[in-house]
Each structure stands twice: as structure tokens, then as C-alpha cells.
């Protein structure tokens, strides 16, 4: 049975690689055309015309924005964001686009202004008007490609929420995928007179070309849903069945020069995620599980070797995160009641832990390197990472969690291994710490700070045998993440900063060494800031605020959980 599964997987991967090699092309790729190169402005590829004659300003609700600023924000999106969302089509006319596709128009503006050096103040002004623009999608069927694109952008760059469990990204993904299937983007027919007539008769996207439909399905739905969302939440990839992967592969083959070599490598990694998520789920024998894990690990290395000429730091981050998720599946296997250090299953797990140490360290190094690069003429605290979508940061956080479990759970970790793991945690904290103005980033930095504290005190206070097993086991590879947060996040009893009884959850509460890492105050989410402004008179003069130094944010932190974990279906981030 094991050899048959492995053979089937090998055959599938051989077909994928063959189709990729056959379709490599020399023409400029989507990514190459949109990624800034040597300081050259490539935003004109996205915004084909800056003509806004007759439109001195554009309005949403009570917010009016001069046309010059609108053009600047579209150019900004094309320069820094479009490379991560190649499914969004170039804009030929700003004024016509605003009239025909208002939701996508204002979603692009919302995404582009959040971290803009001059126009970030627009983000909170546009939050509620944009929310009203989005609301009709909850009770009306989506019949527009642009609406799908708007939803996918909100999944890549979500709006910070008061609590992480309020993030609607997973629900948005379901809406986008189902809408694309309803619009037959997953199985687009060749363009001819008859099919165009069918589209018009059925009131579907008659004016959307087939290549755009396929790009939306492959680089939007498939790419975001697999590695980018499902693995983080610990859910099986929705598009992982044989029939669905066949549709993805067929659409990929038909995209020809629209996909760059980097796009193809990314899709090949995603496909392996789908394969191992399905194949390893029912393998309960530890030896067989380990053998298959090594096979998939080798296949991932093959993708890098095959595309070495086009390899990028972004692909490296995706590859290492995929490996970490693969290795983490091994933690779901049962161990003996009293595992021995020479037990083969324990040894196999330790091999994967050390492989994970290398993958996590490489991922963190790549993220740190990008964060230290300059963005054109701008001085940004996160450097090149400033405009990267959410999946890169969730990958970074997962890498830190893996390093933490290596430090506290592996009895064979040497002092050098542990030191390397803690150094990786500190580097991760530095990256998230530079996101102090972003609620999700500040929250992640505070959790990393707690991990560093516990890791530094783990050697003398944690029983490794008690942490080799997971309490949370129903979240696939992400079970390692959620189990760690379950153990590390305190039982608050109303106080989010009270350490509670962590020892009962598996980690000691012995005082940790001084880390030198500062705790960040969580900035308010847009709806929180609006509420504070609406209640300013009564709120700022409360005794609670006065007792805590007059800071309204201290009041929020006094009664609201910083973490908001929901182990059912929602994510920490």
C-alpha cells in the first residue's frame, strides 16, 4: 500500500514537472513586469493611463480624495502590491474603472494607502465606507470577476481586527472559490461565439477573457487557499481532490506566457501540499509516515533544483514554510507512554525537528534580509517587507513556533542548537517589533517575547517527554502552532496579562531570564479607534483611564484579551 501511494505521488509530480518544463518561455513574466527592478518604476504596467480629466476628485461615502492622490495610490499598488496579486488586471481608465468596478476600485485604494508614507491617514477614513460597499455581497450572488478580486485582496491584506477570531478571511476565501466555480472560472471554456452567447444568456462574466478567468482560479483561489490559508488554520486544502487538481493543472497549462517560472514553481509547491495533506492523513504507522515525509521533502527539493535559475527569496520562504508544515505532521503520531531516546520513532521525529531547525532558520533569515532592504527612496521600518501580504508573516510566526518547540521539546538538542533556536526567535521578534503600529504585528511580537522567555528557562524547568505530545491534534500540521499557543497563552481570568496556571498546560512558570525584549502596546483596530472617537468625552475621563496614566489604550488592554484564541475554526492572526 505504501509503495503504491508513493508511486502514484511520483507519477503525479513527474507529470507536473514535465508540463512546467514544456511551457517555460523567454518572454517577460507577469512578476518580472510588475516587480520593481533597480529602482525603475514599473507601476505603469498596472495603471495604463493616468488620465482623469473631468474627475477632480473621487468620493466614497463622506470621504473625498483628489484625483491626483487616487492616481498616486494606483501607481503605488502597481509598484509594490500587484506582484503578489497578478490576477488583478491592468487599469486602462481610472474614471471608467471607478464607475464599473467600485468595490475593487476602493479595495485597491484601501490596500495601497494603509502603509503609504503620505496617505496612510486615509485608511481609517475609508474603513466604514468600504465596509458598507462590501456588505451587499452577503445577500447577493457574486456575478463579477472584479468582486472576486476585491475579496481575494482582502484575504492577502486583511484589515486588522479587535480580536483575531473576528478576521473573516477564511469566509471570504469560501465566497471567492464558490463564486469562481459558479462563474465556471475553474473550468473555463475556449472562447467562441457559442460560449460567449451562453455567458450573456446566463448573465455571467461575458466580457472576461478566458485567460483572466484561469489566472483568477489558479493564482487567486488555488494559490491563496492551499498554502496561504488552509495550512495556517490547520484545515485540509479545499482544492486538493484529484478532480480539482486536474482542473488547476489544465488551467495552468493554458496560461502560457502569463505565468512566470516563479509562478509555476509556487504552484508546484502548492500541489505538493495538497498531495501530502491527503496522503499522510490516513497513514498511522510511524515508519511509513516517516518514509512518505522524506519522499515529499525530496520532491520539494527537486522543485528548487528544477527552478534554480529563477529562484527568489519569496519562493524560498514558501518552500521552507511548506517543509515546516510537513515536518509538523509527524508530531500528530502517537508515541509510547514512556518514550525512550533510542526508540526509532523518537529518533525519526528528532531528525525532522533538526530539519525543521534548518528550514525555520533559513525562512527567518530570508524575511530579515528582505526587511533590511530599502524601498526606493522611502525609509520604512520594515524595509522591503512593508507591502508584503499576510501569508509571509504567518509563515514567519510558524517558523518561530517550530524553533520554540525544538528548544523545549527535543532532549537531543545541544546547547548550540538551542542557542540557534533562541537567536531565531529574537530575530523574529525584531521583525514583528518593527510593526508596532499594526495591531497584528504588535500582538505577534508580544507572543514571541513570551516564547523567548519560556525558551530561555526551558532547560531547567520543562520535562521534554511531556511536550513531545500534542494536546491539540485536529489541525493537521498547524496543530503544533495551536498546541504551543494553548500552552503558552495564559488563562486570563479577566486579566490578559496574568500568567495564570501555565504549568498545568505543560510549560513551567519559573521566572525567565531577562530578555531585553520590550512588550508592545496593541494599537487599536479601525473599528476600535472609531468607537473611541465617538465616545471620547465620557471615555477619556473615566477613573480607570485616569488610574492608568490617562491612556485610553491601557483601558482596552485592561479588559480585553490580547490573543483571542479560538481553537474551533478561527486563527490567532
pLDDT at 554 exceeding the cut of 50: no
> What domain range includes position 500?
312-524
Q: How far apart are the first and last CA of the chain?
A: 39
What's the pLDDT tens digit per position in 295-340? 999 999 999 999 999 999 999 999 999 999 999 999 898 876 555 6
Over residues 107-123, the mean pLDDT reads 95
CA distance 572 to 485: 9
- 398 in a structural domain: yes
| Sequence-ordered list of residues with C-beta below 8 angstroms from that of 69, at least 6 positions apart, any chain | 119, 122
- Contacts of the segment 314-317: beta carbons below 8 A, 24+ positions apart: 314/262, 314/392, 315/262, 315/265, 315/266, 315/269, 316/362, 316/363, 316/366, 317/363, 317/366, 317/367, 317/392, 317/395
- 284 in a structural domain: no
CA distance 156 to 77: 13
Q: Where are the alpha helices (DSSP H) in 114-167?
A: 122-134, 145-156
- Across 38-42, 54-58, 310-314, least confident range: 38-42
Does residue 146 contact residue 89 with C-beta atoms inside 8 Å?
Answer: no
| Sequence-ordered list of residues with C-beta below 8 angstroms from that of 119, at least 6 positions apart, any chain | 69, 72, 73, 113
- 468 in a structural domain: yes
pLDDT at 504 exceeding the cut of 70: no
In the block, which residue shows the cell 492577502? 156
State the total domains in the chain. Answer: 1
Identify the bridge partners of residue 178 per DSSP, sorted by sequence position: none
- 106 in a structural domain: no
Neighbours of 532 (CB within 10 A): 16
- 324 in a structural domain: yes
- 370 in a structural domain: yes
Residues of the chain above pLDDT 70, percent: 73
- 34 in a structural domain: no
Closest CA to 488 of 506, 475, 468: 506
- 405 in a structural domain: yes
What's the pLDDT tens digit per position in 525-550? 888 876 555 444 444 444 433 333 44
Amino acid at each position: 500500500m505504501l509503495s503504491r501511494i508513493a508511486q502514484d505521488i511520483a507519477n503525479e509530480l513527474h507529470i507536473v514537472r514535465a508540463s512546467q518544463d514544456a511551457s517555460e518561455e523567454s518572454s517577460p513574466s507577469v512578476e518580472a513586469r510588475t516587480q520593481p527592478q533597480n529602482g525603475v518604476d514599473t507601476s505603469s504596467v498596472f495603471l495604463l493611463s493616468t488620465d482623469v480629466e473631468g474627475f477632480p476628485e473621487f468620493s466614497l461615502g463622506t470621504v473625498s480624495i483628489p484625483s491626483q492622490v487616487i492616481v498616486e495610490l494606483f501607481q503605488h499598488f502597481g509598484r509594490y502590491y500587484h506582484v503578489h496579486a497578478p490576477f488583478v488586471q491592468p487599469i486602462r481608465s481610472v474614471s471608467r474603472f471607478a464607475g464599473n468596478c467600485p468595490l475593487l476600485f476602493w479595495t485597491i485604494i484601501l490596500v495601497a494607502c494603509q502603509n503609504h508614507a503620505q496617505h496612510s491617514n486615509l485608511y481609517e477614513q475609508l474603513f466604514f465606507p468600504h465596509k458598507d460597499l462590501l456588505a451587499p455581497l452577503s445577500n447577493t450572488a457574486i456575478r463579477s470577476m472584479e468582486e472576486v478580486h476585491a475579496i481575494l485582496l482582502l484575504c492577502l491584506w486583511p484589515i486588522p481586527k479587535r480580536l483575531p477570531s473576528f478576521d473573516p478571511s477564511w469566509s471570504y476565501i469560501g465566497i471567492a472559490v464558490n463564486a469562481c466555480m459558479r462563474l465556471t472560472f475553474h473550468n473555463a471554456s475556449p472562447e467562441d461565439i457559442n460560449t460567449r452567447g451562453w455567458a450573456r444568456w446566463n448573465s455571467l462574466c461575458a466580457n472576461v477573457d478566458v485567460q483572466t478567468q484561469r489566472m483568477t482560479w489558479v493564482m487567486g483561489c488555488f494559490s491563496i487557499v492551499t498554502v496561504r490559508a488552509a495550512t495556517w488554520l490547520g484545515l485540509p486544502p479545499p482544492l486538493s481532490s484529484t478532480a480539482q487538481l486536474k482542473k488547476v493543472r489544465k488551467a495552468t497549462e493554458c496560461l502560457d506566457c502569463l505565468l512566470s517560472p516563479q509562478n509555476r514553481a509556487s504552484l508546484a509547491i502548492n500541489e505538493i501540499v495538497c498531495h501530502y495533506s491527503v496522503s499522510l492523513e490516513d497513514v498511522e504507522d510511524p515508519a511509513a509516515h516517516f518514509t512518505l515525509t522524506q519522499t515529499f521533502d525530496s520532491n520539494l527539493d527537486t522543485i528548487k533544483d528544477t527552478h534554480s535559475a529563477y529562484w527568489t527569496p519569496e519562493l524560498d520562504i514558501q518552500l521552507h514554510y511548506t517543509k515546516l508544515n510537513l515536518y509538523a505532521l509527524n508530531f500528530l503520531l502517537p508515541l509510547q507512554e514512556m518514550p525512550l531516546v533510542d526508540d526509532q520513532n523518537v529518533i525519526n521525529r528528532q531528525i525532522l525537528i533538526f530539519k525543521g531547525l534548518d528550514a525555520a532558520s533559513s525562512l527567518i533569515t530570508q524575511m530579515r534580509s528582505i526587511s533590511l532592504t530599502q524601498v526606493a527612496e522611502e525609509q520604512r521600518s520594515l524595509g522591503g517587507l512593508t507591502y508584503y501580504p499576510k501569508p509571509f508573516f504567518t509563515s514567519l510566526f510558524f517558523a518561530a513556533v517550530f524553533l520554540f518547540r525544538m528548544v523545549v521539546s527535543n532532549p537531543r538538542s545541544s546547547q548550540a542548537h538551542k542557542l540557534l533556536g533562541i537567536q531565531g526567535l529574537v530575530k523574529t521578534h525584531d521583525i514583528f517589533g518593527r510593526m508596532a503600529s499594526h495591531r497584528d504585528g504588535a500582538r505577534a511580537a508580544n507572543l514571541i517575547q513570551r516564547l523567548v522567555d519560556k525558551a530561555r528557562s526551558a532547560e531547567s524547568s520543562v520535562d521534554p517527554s511531556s511536550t513531545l505530545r500534542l494536546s491539540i491534534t485536529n489541525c493537521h500540521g498547524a496543530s503544533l502552532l495551536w498546541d504551543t499557543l494553548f500552552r503558552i497563552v495564559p488563562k486570563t481570568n479577566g486579566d490578559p496579562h496574568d500568567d495564570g496556571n501555565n504549568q498545568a498546560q505543560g510549560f513551567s512558570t519559573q521566572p525567565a531570564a531577562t530578555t531585553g525584549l520590550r512588550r508592545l502596546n496593541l494599537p487599536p483596530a479601525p473599528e476600535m479607534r472609531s468607537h473611541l472617537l465617538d465616545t471620547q468625552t465620557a471615555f477619556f475621563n473615566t477613573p480607570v483611564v485616569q488610574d492608568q496614566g490617562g491612556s485610553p489604550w491601557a483601558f482596552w488592554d485592561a479588559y480585553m484579551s490580547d490573543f483571542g484564541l479560538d481553537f474551533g475554526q478561527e486563527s490567532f492572526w
